Copies of this chain bind each other. A is one copy, B any other.
Amino acid sequence: MTRPAPALLKPRKTPQQTRSAATIGAIHEATIQVLLAEGAGRLTTTRVAERAGVSVGTMYQYYPHKQALLYAIVDRHLQTIMDAMMAAAERLTGSDLAVVAEGLATAWLDAKTADMVASRAIYAIASDFDLTEVMARGMKLMTNVIATLLAAAPDARFARRDAVAFMLAAMLGGSVRVVMESSPTDEDFACLRQELPRACHAYLVAANGVADR
């Protein structure tokens, strides 16, 4: 939609001294802060640099353009979340559906709330930067992870396992996102934390067939 440019999105140079590593960290941090404090529309290179306590030029030392910076941040976030889910999946492999459902929901909530600040900020980037592709990738990945998990559950006998995995991925990702995006109260969160596992569980059991008394 917007701009593909995969090669151009990579960082310009890799840090070699500790100094520059700290700089990059500060820039990342500042980007998220600006995003949350001022909104994506006011996310400018100057503002980020200012907040990070560095010069604009410094940022261009590491990223060829603004998009590359945004891409790096989104990518890192996605990676973090995915790592957490992979770990959860490994831990849950071979468990019963009930355990899998609750485990997945809890792991997802944990991962998202742990990185919530970044999460909320990132949901707002969609403008200068096309998130569609990244989101689609994440969605597909999650679906696969879940499908594998379902295949390994001893009490699973789904007619259409992939469809169920797809729906579960949409359910997890979507509900948490929607809630996060709408300035949720603590109560909203508590509610989600209680109900989401139940919903996942109920759906999995129902989809698994009536033979489950």
Copy total for this chain: 2
Task: State whether A170 touches B192 (Cβ < 8 A).
Answer: yes
Chain B residues near A124 (CB-CB < 8 A): 126-127
Binds B, one of A20-28, A39-47, A76-84, A85-93: A39-47
Interface residue? A176 (CB, 8 A): yes
Interface residue? A164 (CB, 8 A): yes
Number of interface residues of A (CB under 8 A): 56
Interface residue? A60 (CB, 8 A): no
Contact of A170 among B163, B179, B201 (CB under 8 A): B179
Interface residue? A177 (CB, 8 A): yes
Instruction: Give A127 to B44 CA distance when docked, in angstroms.
Output: 12
Contact of A194 among B37, B136, B163 (CB under 8 A): B163
Look across to chain B and name the residue whose beta carbon is closest to the beta carbon of A162: B191
- A166 with B183: in contact, given A127-B125, A206-B198 (CB under 8 Å)? no
Contact of A166 among B135, B195, B210 (CB under 8 A): B195
Interface residue? A207 (CB, 8 A): yes
Chain B residues near A198 (CB-CB < 8 A): 167, 203, 206-207, 210
Known: A174-B177, A199-B206; 18 extra A-B contacts, CB below 8 A, are A1-B37, A1-B38, A41-B127, A41-B129, A124-B127, A125-B127, A132-B183, A163-B191, A167-B195, A170-B178, A170-B179, A174-B176, A177-B178, A198-B203, A198-B207, A199-B207, A202-B205, A205-B206
